[in-house]
Amino acid sequence: MAFAHRVFVCFSVLPSVLLASPGFDQLRSSLLPRPLSVWPGKADKLTRPIVVVNHEAGFENVVDAFKEDWTIGNFKNGRIVEISLDKKLEEEAYRINFGSTVTVKASTRTGLAWALQTLGQLINSDHWEKQILDNPDVPFRSVSVDVARRFHSISTLKTLARWCQLGKVRFMQLHLTDDQNWMLPSNVFPHVDSRNQHHLPAYTAAELKDLQSFASARGVTIVPEIDIPGHCSLLVASDPKLFRIQNSASVGCVNFGPPLVRAKLKQLIGETARLFSGSPYIHIGGDEAWYPDAEKDPQMKAAMAQLGPNSNPSQVFVDFVGEMADEVIRLKKKPIVWEGFAASDFAKKRIPKETVVVAWEGTYYPADKLIADGYQVVNAGWDPYYVVNHFPYDSFTLVPLERLFRSYYHHFGIVSGLMAPVRLSHGPLLKGAMLCWWEGHEWNTQWTLPNRIVAFGSRLWNWEDARKYATFKSDLDDAGLKVMHQAYPFDFLCEGSLSTDESLFSSKVVVTMKPSSTNLRLAWRTDKKMPQVSDEKAENSVTITSDTVLSVQAYRGSTPVGETQMIPFHKVTVVPNLAFHCRVTTSCQSDPQFAAKLVTDGVSDLVSGFWLAYPNPQTLTIDLAAVKTVGRLEVVGFWATGAPTRYRLAVSSDGKNFTDVVDASKQTAPSTKDGYVHHISPVSARYIRIETLGSDLFPSTMTRINEIRAFEN
């Protein structure tokens, strides 16, 4: 067996030049994101060695990052790449001219980072050289990462910044505070992180500055989020006399009425602004604030009185959000809030219009109403922009990757089906979209987000990218390998794993690690912690016999090279049956990580090994390859929560005429790891079809099926 790199990533202002040239089409199709404007020329290759000549002070860190990521040595001879400033270009725009000398121009470090990412993808690739002129269609493109509910290392966040650069995603927002953990360093509240549920302290200022420097050199700006006044259980527990709403059942919402509380939180916003000086935004939360009986609190009563007769706690809440937004604006930054306040004349007047509202659910203040009332809006609707790794199970709520790649950022959807989607026209107040990752384990972040970041970014960068999803996925796999090697300079050999998935094994798996360079050494652990240089081992091999997360980091001397990769291995039971490894087809769009083929892999005891069917109803058809006698069918729905799964089963001998054999449309029995067992009258069948009808697991519009098995008796 050969070593293999571990791959988990299973409104235009520029004219488009559309010329019928095979080389032109190839260039337009293979680059991620697809450039908006390309002028073709003669065929050529951009090959090493490359000599980078930078003419602009202030571009050095971006150039250094490019040299490091794409292993551009300090050669004296080679193809010249000249970098210079062009103030006429827009903030994120860039221009590349190909000739005997390659010239790269941008007006900002961000634009240069995007240009060099494009240039890196072209190294050793055939292309038609002349000129690329590029600029995003959609200005606000952000990925929000929940680092407060479960720990995420700075290393993993750096890797995500690499994927943001590949997808040309402008911002990466850190959800730094929540009920579970507080990850924002603070001198205003120095001990609030002592109650963190994961028993780790907040990030240090030095760590966050290091992350910002790394990301900025790759075009990505880190945006901080402080979630106030809700999601603040730790802050309330740190000083209940100051922060708790008296006579209320709420323990997670700070008392947003008193001037002293507001003054302290303004101090927190101020130190956050200083720590994240490079961010044009500060997100101040504002969602899901629960404050029953708040009017019984004496200080809340005083705040209500300040607003005038007939005021209520909801108006005090709006006033609080408005005051915090005013403070962000005073600090010369732009406030971002979640859609968490209801539409009202008071809100329209009190919350400044400079505020960017992230519309995520539609129940508080629908996006169309926000736009009509003059607010800047960012789309973070559950469909397609939420990715949730639900507590405490790996159930995952997300839409298929293909649906995300073909999404419309002016369509606001929610997966629960409780509300009709809102569809808006393009306009200046609709700023863009935010892809949100919630609740996930760090290793699942590394596994789940990369593909989605690039699909999200590619769609928003070039609205008219018409390549087929299969072509996009192939291009993504190729480009993703380069990012993987930049982040993780080592390879793996897995002996004993299942042929369909090297992270699964039925007895044991021997994992051998090999650095990509002889001057690198590897440190690794199997306890879900980040390897340090002291964790270097003489033997880069480990035998795994139970569920394990293997963490690997390369070092050159005492200096880490790249980032830490976390690889979960799972011990599973394989159950052979008539449907084992049979071909499947579905009616729904595909997701590479929650693929239809998982229902016939023989594995039902892996929690996250399910086919994702969305939106219901959908069908999946198994081809047994020949007509066989079937007398028993077993369906394993998502079993970790025990929520009932509903469906219908039918069989066919010709693939055209199907006979219903099982009606589980009103099933109330809980899902189990053993599955639902259906004995049927023996029938000759080549095809087995399931129609998904939902489950009691959120959301009801989505069905997760771990396995479908067929037996003769």
Cβ neighbours, 10 Å, residue 499? 7
Question: Which of 372, 331, 328 minimizes the C-alpha distance to 352?
Answer: 328
Residue of 391 and 676 predicted with greater confidence: 676
> Do residues 334 and 238 make contact, with C-beta atoms less than 8 angstroms apart?
no
pTM for the whole structure = 0.95
Distances (CA, A) of 629 to 7, 294, 357, 683, 713: 39, 66, 58, 5, 8
Question: Which of 576, 592, 585 minimizes the C-alpha distance to 447?
Answer: 592
Q: Indicate whether 17 pLDDT > 80.
A: no
Q: Which residues pair with 585 in a beta bridge?
A: 621
Distances (CA, A) of 472 to 28, 29, 125: 11, 8, 17
SS3 93: coil
Question: Which of 516, 524, 563, 560 minimizes the C-alpha distance to 541?
Answer: 524
Q: Which residues pair with 143 in a beta bridge?
A: 172, 435
What's 597's DSSP letter? G
With bands split at pLDDT 50, 70 and 90, how would you rate the model's confidence at 46? Answer: confident
SS3 readout for 112-131: HHHHHHHHHHHECCEEECCE
With bands split at pLDDT 50, 70 and 90, how would you rate the model's confidence at 464? Answer: confident
Cβ neighbours, 10 Å, residue 157? 23
Topology, domain 140-461? TIM Barrel (3.20.20)
Question: Is residue 345 within a helix (H) or strand (E), and if so which, with residue range?
Answer: helix 345-350
**Domain coordinates of the chain in residue numbers?**
22-134, 140-461, 489-570, 583-711
What pLDDT shows up at residue 527?
95
Question: Is residue 324 within a helix (H) or strand (E), and if so which, with residue range?
Answer: helix 313-330
Instruction: Let me know if 559 is exposed, middle or buried by CB neighbors in 10 A (0-12, 13-18, 19+).
Output: exposed
Q: Indicate whether 594 pLDDT > 90.
A: yes
Q: Side-chain half-sphere of 286: how many Cα atoms within 13 Å?
A: 32
Distances (CA, A) of 116 to 12, 286, 683: 21, 37, 61
SS3 readout for 464-526: CCCCCHHHHHHHHHHHHHHHHHHHCCEEEEEEEEECCEEEEEEEEEEEEEEECCCCCEEEEEC
In residues, how long is the chain?
A: 713
CA–CA separation, 383 and 270 (whole Å): 34
CB neighbour list of residue 259: distance below 8 Å, 6 or more residues apart: none
> Do residues 36 and 462 make contact, with C-beta atoms less than 8 angstroms apart?
yes
> Do residues 281 and 334 make contact, with C-beta atoms less than 8 angstroms apart?
yes
What pLDDT shows up at residue 125?
81
CA–CA separation, 249 and 372 (whole Å): 36
* Chain mean pLDDT for the chain: 93
- Kindly report, residue by residue over 180-234, the tens digit of the pLDDT: 999 999 999 999 999 999 999 999 999 999 999 999 999 999 999 999 999 999 9
Is the bond into 617 cis (omega within 30 degrees of 0)?
A: yes
Q: Indicate whether 19 pLDDT > 80.
A: no
Q: Residue 265, Cα to own-chain centre: how many angstroms?
A: 29
Q: Indicate whether 2 pLDDT > 60.
A: no
With bands split at pLDDT 50, 70 and 90, how would you rate the model's confidence at 567? Answer: very high
With bands split at pLDDT 50, 70 and 90, how would you rate the model's confidence at 466? Answer: confident
226 phi-psi bin (left φ>0, alpha ψ -120 to 50, beta other): beta
SS3 21: coil
Distances (CA, A) of 286 to 109, 323, 334, 474, 705: 32, 12, 15, 40, 36
CA–CA separation, 678 and 673 (whole Å): 15
Topology, domain 22-134? Chitobiase; domain 2 (3.30.379)
Q: Could you give the maximum distance between any two Cα atoms of the chain, in Å?
A: 79
Topology, domain 583-711? Jelly Rolls (2.60.120)
CA–CA separation, 465 and 472 (whole Å): 10
Topology, domain 489-570? Immunoglobulin-like (2.60.40)
What pLDDT shows up at residue 15?
31
What pLDDT shows up at residue 27?
56
> Do residues 686 and 653 make contact, with C-beta atoms less than 8 angstroms apart?
yes
Question: Is residue 97 within a helix (H) or strand (E), and if so which, with residue range?
Answer: strand 94-97
What pLDDT shows up at residue 421?
80
Q: Indicate whether 562 pLDDT > 90.
A: yes
What pLDDT shows up at residue 418?
65
- Kindly report, residue by residue over 325-372, the tens digit of the pLDDT: 999 999 999 999 999 999 999 999 999 999 999 999 888 899 999 999
What pLDDT shows up at residue 76?
84
Give the range among 27-31, 65-69, 303-307 with minimum mean pLDDT: 27-31
Question: Which of 463, 360, 366, 385 minimizes the C-alpha distance to 424?
Answer: 366
Torsion, Cα of 297, 298, 301, 303 (10° steps): -100
